[in-house]
Amino acid sequence: MTTTALLPLTSFTNWLAFGERGLSSEAIVTHLTGSAVSRWGHGDHPHDPADFRRCVVLLEAVPVAGLTFPTMRTVSPAWARLVDAWDEILAELTAEVPGFRDRDSGGSASAPRTYALMQRVLAAGTRCEPCDGTGKAEACPKCHGTGRRAGGRCRNEGCAAGHFYCRTCRGRGYTGGDR
């Protein structure tokens, strides 16, 4: 990884003290400042909505970082794909968890559609139309889509949290792609 120091570490003083740190938000700060702020390596991209959310909160807290953020494209192919789709992912997360910025409720909220979109983006796949990118087919008739039955998890064969997997994309929400 080539590191070009674009910003002084002081731009992130407040985030370093109080921010929500994860491998991917630390990767952004490391890349933009040239200072290794993570104890656990560097360059890791967001893997799920919780990672993505921490990055968004960081970029909004430090506006100058938002301006130079697109240079994350050079860190890895995965980062390049995520940066290119950043606005789309942010729109999906905003629609799915309107209060995602809230540290307590937003940080633990489930966002399966955003997760599916991120998996598609990371794989450079094509959105699966039959299931609208969700990976889900019809609701399970035994648990009526709830995924729960008789006080426990629904054990009907093929039921995945209340729905059957889309046959076109085998539950991935996208087709093609390289992983």
Bridge partners of residue 160, in order along the sequence: 163
Note whether 137 binds Zn ion by CB under 5 A.
Answer: no
Of residues 11-50, which lie at the interface with Zn ion (CB under 5 A)? Answer: none
Pairwise CA distance, residues 15 & 20, whole Å: 7
Query: What are the residues whose beta carbons fall under 8 Å from the beta carbon of 56, sequence distance 6 or more?
Result: 90, 93, 100, 101
Of the residues 131, 138, 152, 179, which one makes contact with Zn ion according to CB under 5 A: 131
Task: Give the angle subtended at the CA of 78 by the CAs of 114 and 63, to the nearest 5°.
Answer: 70
Residue of 82, 63, 64 lying closest to 72 (CA atoms)? 82
Pairwise CA distance, residues 68 & 83, whole Å: 12
Note whether 156 binds Zn ion by CB under 5 A.
Answer: yes
**Which span sits near Zn ion by CB under 5 A: 23-31, 61-69, 102-110, 147-155?**
147-155
Pairwise CA distance, residues 124 & 157, whole Å: 31
CB of 173 to Zn ion, least distance (A): 6
Which string of x and - marks every residue 94-123 that binds Zn ion (by CB under 5 A)?
Answer: ------------------------------
**Which span sits near Zn ion by CB under 5 A: 24-32, 59-67, 116-124, 164-172?**
164-172
CB of 113 to Zn ion, least distance (A): 13
CB of 133 to Zn ion, least distance (A): 7
Of the residues 56, 62, 97, 128, which one makes contact with Zn ion according to CB under 5 A: 128
Q: Is the dihedral of CA 125, 60, 14, 18 positive or negative?
A: negative
CB 6 within 8 A of CB 68: yes
CB of 63 or CB of 152, closer to Zn ion: 152
- Using CB under 5 A, list all residues that contact Zn ion: 128, 131, 140, 142-143, 154, 156, 159, 166, 168-169
